[in-house]
Amino acid sequence: MLAYVFWHWPSVEVDRQAYEASLQGFQTVLSENKPAGFYDAAVFRIKGAPWLPANTSGYEDWYIVQDSGALDLLNDAAITPPRKDAHDVSARQAAGGTAGLYRLRQGQLTVGRARTAVWLAKPAGMSYADFSAALAPLTGQPDTGLWGRQMTLGPTTEFCLLSPEEIVLPGNLTGLNLRLESIWPLKKPPT
């Protein structure tokens, strides 16, 4: 299981609500016309990420795919009918972007329920086994997962903990804690 994570921000002349509506439009079409190997996506509004331009709020899209082969299919599908028009609307409104590739290392896959992301690195001198053991009480919590960057692809530190709750790291670990505001999936009105 892999996640293609894409950070982007709108052009200064683009209204935030219009930008978010275009993102939701693309996600709606993508979810209704899924390419092979693509499972799901989540989109969040974020602030304070050092890989975004200074003083810029941006967006963090998580695309969950089966494997690296599914990335090619997703890439091609995004720019072909019936997804192309919705993709092009949001792409024209973006000022820039960057991305990374991550693998679920431990915990659960429920990315869409995340409201907190903690980006962290394994401390020098700590083994991966000890790092995993230190995080096990957190990744054992419902809907919490530890994702690891693949092949150094991405602007972030090596790991990301996603959770629906605020995360307090064990005393020997530090990280960048970002609040995630869900843009997609859309909340369904109560029936």
Cα separation, 16 vs 9, in Å, equals 10
Tell me, yes or no, whether 106 lies in a domain. yes
Residue ranges making up the domain that contains 34: 2-184
**Residue partners of 36: CB distance under 8 A and separation at least 6:** 70, 73
* Digitized pLDDT (tens) for each residue of the chain, 191 residues in all: 999 999 999 999 999 999 999 999 999 999 999 999 999 999 999 999 999 998 888 999 999 999 999 999 999 999 999 999 999 999 999 999 999 999 999 999 999 999 999 999 999 999 999 999 999 999 999 999 999 999 999 999 999 999 999 999 998 899 999 999 999 998 654 44
Tell me, yes or no, whether 190 lies in a domain. no
Q: What is the pLDDT of residue 16?
A: 94
C-alpha 121: how far from its chain's center?
17
Rounded (10°) CA dihedral 175, 176, 181, 183: -90
User: In what helix (H) or strand (E) does residue 128 lie, and over which residues does it extend?
Assistant: helix 128-139
Tell me, yes or no, whether 57 lies in a domain. yes
Domain at 101, CATH number:
3.30.70.100
Tell me, yes or no, whether 191 lies in a domain. no
For 127, counting Cβ atoms within 10 Å of its Cβ (0-12 exposed, 13-18 middle, 19+ buried), the class is exposed
Tell me, yes or no, whether 189 lies in a domain. no
| pTM for this entry | 0.94
CA angle 165, 168, 169 (to 5 degrees): 130
Tell me, yes or no, whether 167 lies in a domain. yes
Tell me, yes or no, whether 123 lies in a domain. yes
Number of domains in the chain: 1
Tell me, yes or no, whether 168 lies in a domain. yes
Cα separation, 9 vs 167, in Å, equals 26
Question: Quick check: helix, strand or coil at residue 54?
Answer: coil
